[in-house]
């Protein structure tokens, strides 16, 4: 994988071990996590609780038998009660040209404005699927586990849709980085 940006100024402290004394702080942990590159997703839902979507990087494969992934959702997010009331979601993984959606779904934008910025397909479970997402996972939420500030949603993956883009998008060091295939 080849990053297309030469800007690699690291977040937070440059080097060293934290903490010198006392417990590890939330900020130091977040600075450390900024050094883990992650794909960017817009997670959507619709159902009895209404329609909602939020940007997530805390999405992970759990198992291929059965196909399962997890999504970590902050219980303080405005979308939390909606996801709590619904039992389906779609994980829409963004391509490089869909970066603006990450900002829109990343908070503080009214829900109608978020969805008005893109085209969506109605999935079989009801949750909106982003047209031309790099990949989309149609899921049913199988279980939820509270862990610290977040709920971990374990999701059965019912269908996948592979999109047209070959250019992925990664969030690293608190910035977006488009990915290009390595030259042969
Ligand atoms: C790049 C990026 C990644 C994010 N990853 C997550 C995540 O994995 N889980 C989460 O709960 N919130 C995550 N957020 C924050 C949510 O998108 C945000 O809290 C959500 O849109 C709700 O905001 P609101 O409460 O203002 O509506 C992320 C935001 C950005 C910009």
| CA separation for the pair 19, 10 (Å, rounded) | 18
As given in the structure block, the two tokens for residue 59 are: 């999405």
pLDDT at residue number 5: 36
Most informative mutation of 99, 107, 150 for ligand 1 (most atoms within 8 A of CB): 107
The pLDDT assigned to 8 comes to 39
In this prediction, residue 16 carries a pLDDT of 78
Q: Write down the pLDDT at residue 3.
A: 38
Tell whether ligand 1 has an atom less than 6 A from the beta carbon of residue 74: yes
Number of Cβ within 10 Å of residue 113's Cβ equals 9
Predicted TM-score (pTM) of the model is 0.91
Per-residue pLDDT in tens (0 to 9) along the chain, 184 residues: 333 333 334 555 567 788 777 899 999 999 999 999 999 999 999 999 999 999 999 999 999 999 999 999 999 999 999 999 999 999 999 999 999 999 999 988 999 999 999 999 998 888 999 999 999 999 999 999 999 999 999 999 999 999 987 789 999 999 999 998 788 7
Question: What's the rounded Cα separation, in Å, for the pair 29 and 22?
Answer: 14
CATH of domain 38-174: 2.30.110.10
Domain boundaries, the chain: 38-174
5 lines ligand 1 (CB under 6 A): no
Task: Report the pLDDT value the prediction gives residue 12, as an integer from 0 to 100.
Answer: 55
Report yes or no: 20 and 45 within 8 Å, Cβ to Cβ: no
- Residue 50: its pLDDT value, please? 97
Using the atom order of ligand 1, give the atom closest to the CA of residue 55. Answer: 17
Position 1 scores a pLDDT of: 39
Region class of 50: left (phi > 0), else alpha (psi between -120 and 50), else beta: left
Q: Which residues contact 67 (CB under 8 A, 6 or more apart)?
A: 156, 157
């Amino acid at each position: 994988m080849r990053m297309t940006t030469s800007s690699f100024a690291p977040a937070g402290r440059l080097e060293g071990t934290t903490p010198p004394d006392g417990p590890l702080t939330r900020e130091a942990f977040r600075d450390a996590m900024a050094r883990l590159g992650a794909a960017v997703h817009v997670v959507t839902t619709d159902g009895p609780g209404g329609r909602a979507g939020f940007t997530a990087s805390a999405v992970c494969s759990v198992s291929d038998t059965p196909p399962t992934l997890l999504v970590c959702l902050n219980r303080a997010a405005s979308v939390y009660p909606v996801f709590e009331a619904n039992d389906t979601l779609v994980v829409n993984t963004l391509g490089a040209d869909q970066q603006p959606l990450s900002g829109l779904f990343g908070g503080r934008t009214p829900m109608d404005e978020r969805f008005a910025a893109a085209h969506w397909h109605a999935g079989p479970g009801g949750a909106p699927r982003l047209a031309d997402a790099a990949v989309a996972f149609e899921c049913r939420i199988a279980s939820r586990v509270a862990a610290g500030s977040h709920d971990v949603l374990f999701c059965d993956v019912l269908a996948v849709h592979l999109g047209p883009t070959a250019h992925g998008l990664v969030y690293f060091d608190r910035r977006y980085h488009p990915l290009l295939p390595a030259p042969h």
